[in-house]
Amino acid sequence: MSLNADPAFWAAANTHLTRYGPDFESIIVERAEGSFVYDADDRAILDFTSGQMSAVLGHTHPDIVATVDRQMRSVAHLFSGMLSRPVVDLASRLAALAPGLDRVQLLTTGAESNEAAIRMAKLVTGGHEIVAFAQSWHGMTGAAASATYSAGRKGYGPAAAGSFVIPAPNSYRPRFTHPDGSNDWQAELDDAFRLIDNQSTGNLAAFIAEPILSSGGILELPPGYLAALKRKCEERGMLLILDEAQTGVARTGDMFAFQRDGVTPDILTLSKTLGAGLPLAAVMTTAAIEEKAHERGFLFYTTHVSDPLPAAVGVTVLDVVERDRLVAQAVARGQRLKSGLMSLQQKYECVGDVRGRGLLLGLEIVTDRQTKAPGFELGAKVMEEAMHRGLSMNIVKLPGMGGVFRIAPPLTVSDAEIDLGLEIMSDAIDAALGTH
């Protein structure tokens, strides 16, 4: 019998754990290393979601282990008004990587970083209306959840007053098209902002956006879109907040995804990838915005703000990214993975689209290439078959889209591991289609 079936473990889990989302996987994870997690039978499972899209250096990276050990022995946590060297080091390192965004606050989670960003935008603009994409995910807490539209909207009472939404551009399923059928995102954006102007009571504070909407099905903002969005914000006195929880820290083949577009946001939030799997987040902004916020008494005082342990981890993450040239590696390995996924698209009718950049890629499953009819059941089957064969992938199910696999291995993934993942994916699709 598989050790994953441990009756005492599952009896306790089923009795004592709150179910906070989709079903738990039916394995017990005992350890993890590099690109693999190992279950109770010591079976190696290739982790193509980098944990929860965070473990950019793979699991139990020796440099992170050494930093946690060293920092834990000196100082881990402090009174929130006390400073330590790792905090100032990390703030300086981040500021050097994102010219113009000189002021940094270090926090814990993605949702929390977006709370801080939205709170600052409200204070600085004097407005309270927040616009986001209809396929967004910014977190599970108050303001972040009010700006999250891809899931979890219903059943929790009112969202914040002044929560508005526009559609994210989708090149595979465009709503507005040029005569040649390609996505006319500018027309869509203009139309959307006409509706925002109709709804606004004159208190617009910010637009919050992911450069690649990940939980929204790997929707990439096309080149030029961010610049156009920034103009829309400037015309209305709104701030542009970019949430790079998933896209930051080399994941997309740039240090930050916004760098491809040459558009610096007013506020940048980083989380997941910054701590490479440990809870660390940062809110970065310009000196001018921070000055104004401070003048108005900005308060975002938390238990774990400026904690030295996660900050030291963040410094090590940046060191390893630089030393091991992981930005370039995300480009190279990303190309290998994307071309492999495109071969799958050629081989299988059910692979409708392959998209994304660097090592944040999406593969959309449809039941019909022509009509692009969503293939949720087939996608779920592929996911199950992949897991069965030792590959963990995550599928996003949203209305109006097929099942979309979010494929984001650690940036340290090897060519051989990418090839192994592609081989398992191919076998899993064959099995799900019943051709094997």
Ligand X SMILES: Cc1ncc(COP(=O)(O)O)c(C=O)c1O
What three-state secondary structure class fits 379?
Answer: helix
Other beta carbons within 10 angstroms of residue 389's beta carbon come to 16
Binding-site member from 71, 215, 306, 329 for ligand X (CB under 6 A)? 215
Beta bridge partners of 103: 285
Instruction: Give the nearer residue to ligand X in terms of CB position, either 244 or 385.
Output: 244
Considering only 133-141, 309-317, 355-363, 409-417, which stretch makes contact with ligand X by CB under 6 A? Answer: 133-141
**Of 108, 103, 109, 110, whose CA–CA distance to 88 is shortest?**
103
Please name the residue ranges forming H helices in 183-247.
Answer: 185-199, 225-235
The reply to whether 347 belongs to the active site is no
Shortest Cβ 245–ligand X spacing (Å):
4
Judged by CB under 6 A, how many residues of this single chain contact ligand X?
Answer: 14
Instruction: Give the nearer residue to ligand X in terms of CB position, either 75 or 140.
Output: 140
> Is residue 375 part of the contact set for ligand X (CB under 6 A)?
no
Chain centre distance of CA 315: 20
> Is residue 245 part of the contact set for ligand X (CB under 6 A)?
yes
The answer to whether 251 and 287 have CB atoms below 8 angstroms apart is no
> Is residue 137 part of the contact set for ligand X (CB under 6 A)?
yes
Site map for ligand X, 92-131, x if CB under 6 A? -----------------xxx--x-----------------
Residue 362 to residue 219: CA distance in whole angstroms: 8
Binding-site member from 47, 210, 261, 385 for ligand X (CB under 6 A)? 210
Residue 298 to residue 300: CA distance in whole angstroms: 7
Shortest Cβ 117–ligand X spacing (Å):
11
The reply to whether 259 belongs to the active site is no
Interhelix angle 225-235/185-199, nearest 10 degrees: 20
Binding-site member from 103, 122, 138, 236 for ligand X (CB under 6 A)? 138
Shortest Cβ 271–ligand X spacing (Å):
5
Instruction: Give the nearer residue to ligand X in terms of CB position, either 243 or 307.
Output: 243
> Is residue 275 part of the contact set for ligand X (CB under 6 A)?
no
Q: Which one of the listed residues 115, 184, 210, 261 is annotated catalytic?
A: 210
The answer to whether 130 and 105 have CB atoms below 8 angstroms apart is no
- Give the CB-nearest residue to ligand X: 110
CB neighbour list of residue 86: distance below 8 Å, 6 or more residues apart: 71, 308, 309, 311, 312, 314, 315
Interface contacts to ligand X, rule CB under 6 A: 109-111, 114, 137-139, 210, 214-215, 243, 245-246, 271
Active site residues: 137, 210, 243, 246, 272, 406
